[in-house]
Amino acid sequence: MKKSFLYLLSLILVINVTLVGCVFSPNKKDNFPPVSRNNETILQAFYWEMGEAGYPKEETDLWLFLAQKAPELSEVGFTAVWLPPANKAMGGKRDVGYATYDLWDLGEFNQKGTVRTKYGTKEELENAITALHNDGIKVYYDAVLNHRMGADSTETVKLSPYSPDKPGQTIKAWTKLAFPGRKNKYSDFQWNWQCFDGADWDESTRTSGKFLFEGKSWDYTFIWNDDYLMGADVDYENHKVQKDVTNWGNWIINEIGFDGFRLDAVKHIDYRFINQFITDVQKNSNKDVFFVGEAWIENVDDLVGYLNTVNNEDLKVFDFPLRSAFADMINGTDMRTLQNVGLVNKEGYKNRAVTFVDNHDTNRDGKDPGIYRRKYQAYAYILTREHGIPVVYWKDYYIYGMKNELDKLLEVRKYYAYGPGYEVDNNDEDVYSYVRAGLDEVEGDGLVLMISDGESEEIISKRINSRQPNTTFYDYTGHVQGNIITDERGYGNFKVRKSENEGWSVWVPVIE
């Protein structure tokens, strides 16, 4: 009796082990569904503090490092990388890149005290682009076109009677850029005060202000009088400036080999020029050039207004309104709001959204911690969504130790996040769910996403239509154990834990 009981017990154990094995076996690559279409996913390949003391040494030569990493990035599902500004900036090799000095110097000329930029030389950059292309990864340039900094010399400039500061007076402005180290290679265009609308510094009195130059008017922006941001503000009503910057854009795509642009501070640049720049660069290339604008506008109707003002279908924008919803999730929110927030949920604009959780501005040491809680819930949302192109932030991925869990979500995106997306009808304050039906022609794709901002640690069950009848699902994140089998109509009782640290589950079909 006792012996048979032990035998039974060991049999149960064996069965259990087998079952547990079954639950985990789909993680093996040979059990993934085939990748029929390639979901686009961007890696933002830098952060503000990259290369500084206390951060990984190998990142100080980013172009070399990226060339090495290309196979690994491709394998996990990244289809594009957004590089930091690759041109020479005011601060030389310590400059992150946003203080544009010479767009035509990609680490090739001795200017600002250095040949290389913070990230390496032009040759290293070109090698990185080749390596990334060899692994099927597109490369996007971070174009900082709004302003110039670090001019070579000053000029005496008379100010407009409409200048906000010192109207009608004369200042000494840093507006002469002759690029002495480059010696007119690629472009012989040299900049003087007439290339700018205004500046923020008078060298003669060493005072700051907002100075509009004589005969100039601020450029056309979506938000009125929003042209000036910093430095010497480029006048995009000047035809010679338009021509040089457009030539440069064509060179970056057609000669250097980039595949697209992230347009920095785009709402502070003349929208007529932005439209023309996109049109011209697109027309002059046989690539489908990618454009995403950083229009930092958190109200979705205003962001739509911005897109309509530029009026160019090729322009996408970062979904700052969606990110605001993730910021609300930090301290708990009504999870039902997630079904209609952001550009990614705005009818007619869903495909214009580039979704993200944090970037080099929203997360910066000593300044802003960014989305410091429930960040995986936010990533699970953008990486499973039907619309929007998601961006993963390097600092989250490599520095904050999120790589292992993010890799699971990236695998979900690569193999399962296909087919029409459906909102469910039973979201509540604590749980948001979303379904991808999968593609008809593919066996084993599709998913049920559940994310929670609850904290009770209990497992919640929701009856959800997976759109996949008689299908066995398991939670790819491993947060909830066991299988869920849907009925003949596709319904099943899917589960998620109300938990900050495990409050996201992605149920995917088991493939035998």
Residues that are catalytic: 264, 294
| Distance separating alpha carbons of residues 378 and 383, to the nearest angstrom | 9
Using the rule CB under 5 A, give the single segment among 73-81, 93-101, 235-243, 413-421 that binds Ca ion.
Answer: 235-243
- Which residues on adjacent β-strands are paired with residue 172? 156
Residue 268 DSSP code:
G
Phi first, then psi, for residue 260 (nearest 5°) are 180, 180
CB of 270 to Ca ion, least distance (A): 7
Any idea which residue has 């390639």 for tokens?
38
What order of strands is seen across the sheet that includes strand 483-485? 421-423, 431-436, 447-452, 504-509, 472-475, 483-485
| Distance separating alpha carbons of residues 371 and 375, to the nearest angstrom | 6
Of 39, 87, 114, 146, which lies in the binding site for Ca ion, with binding defined by CB under 5 A? 146
Which of residues 79 and 194 has its CB atom nearest to Ca ion in the complex? 194
| Distance separating alpha carbons of residues 38 and 58, to the nearest angstrom | 30
Which of residues 81 and 245 has its CB atom nearest to Ca ion in the complex? 245
CB of 161 to Ca ion, least distance (A): 16
Of 49, 108, 227, 396, which lies in the binding site for Ca ion, with binding defined by CB under 5 A? 227
Of 126, 155, 237, 428, which lies in the binding site for Ca ion, with binding defined by CB under 5 A? 237
CB of 25 to Ca ion, least distance (A): 56
Using the rule CB under 5 A, give the single segment among 112-120, 127-135, 140-148, 180-188 that binds Ca ion.
Answer: 140-148
Which of residues 21 and 215 has its CB atom nearest to Ca ion in the complex? 215
Contact between 264 and Ca ion per CB under 5 A:
no
CB of 104 to Ca ion, least distance (A): 20
Of 235, 294, 405, 502, which lies in the binding site for Ca ion, with binding defined by CB under 5 A? 235
Which of residues 162 and 372 has its CB atom nearest to Ca ion in the complex? 162
Instruction: Give the DSSP H/E element, type plus range, for residue 197.
Output: strand 196-202
Using the rule CB under 5 A, give the single segment among 62-70, 130-138, 229-237, 327-335 that binds Ca ion.
Answer: 229-237
Which of residues 216 and 385 has its CB atom nearest to Ca ion in the complex? 216
Alpha carbon 319 to its chain centroid, in Å, reads 9
| Distance separating alpha carbons of residues 83 and 122, to the nearest angstrom | 13
Instruction: Give the DSSP H/E element, type plus range, for residue 44.
Output: strand 42-44
Are the C-beta atoms of 128 and 67 separated by less than 8 Å? yes
Which of residues 274 and 484 has its CB atom nearest to Ca ion in the complex? 274
CB of 508 to Ca ion, least distance (A): 46
Which of 280, 425, 451 lies closest to 357 in space, CA to CA? 451
Using the rule CB under 5 A, give the single segment among 192-200, 302-310, 437-445, 457-465 that binds Ca ion.
Answer: 192-200
- Which residues on adjacent β-strands are paired with residue 186? none
**Assigned token pair, 58:** 């190998």
CB of 90 to Ca ion, least distance (A): 17
Residue 13 DSSP code:
H
CB of 152 to Ca ion, least distance (A): 21
DSSP-based three-state secondary structure for 185: coil
Q: Which amino acid is residue 268, in one-letter code?
A: H
Pairing of the two strands 80-82 and 42-44 = parallel
Size of the site for Ca ion (CB under 5 A): 8
Which of residues 221 and 468 has its CB atom nearest to Ca ion in the complex? 221
Give the list of residues 6+ apart from residue 135 with CB closer than 8 angstroms, or none: 70, 71, 73, 74
Q: Which residues between 200 and 219 bind Ca ion (CB under 5 A)? A: 219
Using the rule CB under 5 A, give the single segment among 145-153, 299-307, 418-426, 487-495 that binds Ca ion.
Answer: 145-153
Contact between 267 and Ca ion per CB under 5 A:
no
Of 49, 233, 358, 405, which lies in the binding site for Ca ion, with binding defined by CB under 5 A? 233
Contact between 197 and Ca ion per CB under 5 A:
yes
Alpha carbon 214 to its chain centroid, in Å, reads 39
CB of 148 to Ca ion, least distance (A): 11
Using the rule CB under 5 A, give the single segment among 189-197, 306-314, 327-335, 343-351 that binds Ca ion.
Answer: 189-197
What order of strands is seen across the sheet that includes strand 207-212? 147-148, 232-234, 196-202, 207-212
Backbone torsion region of residue 200, taken as left when φ is above 0, otherwise alpha when ψ lies between -120 and 50, otherwise beta: alpha
Which of residues 273 and 379 has its CB atom nearest to Ca ion in the complex? 273
Instruction: List residues near Ca ion by CB under 5 A.
Output: 146, 197, 219, 227, 233, 235, 237, 268
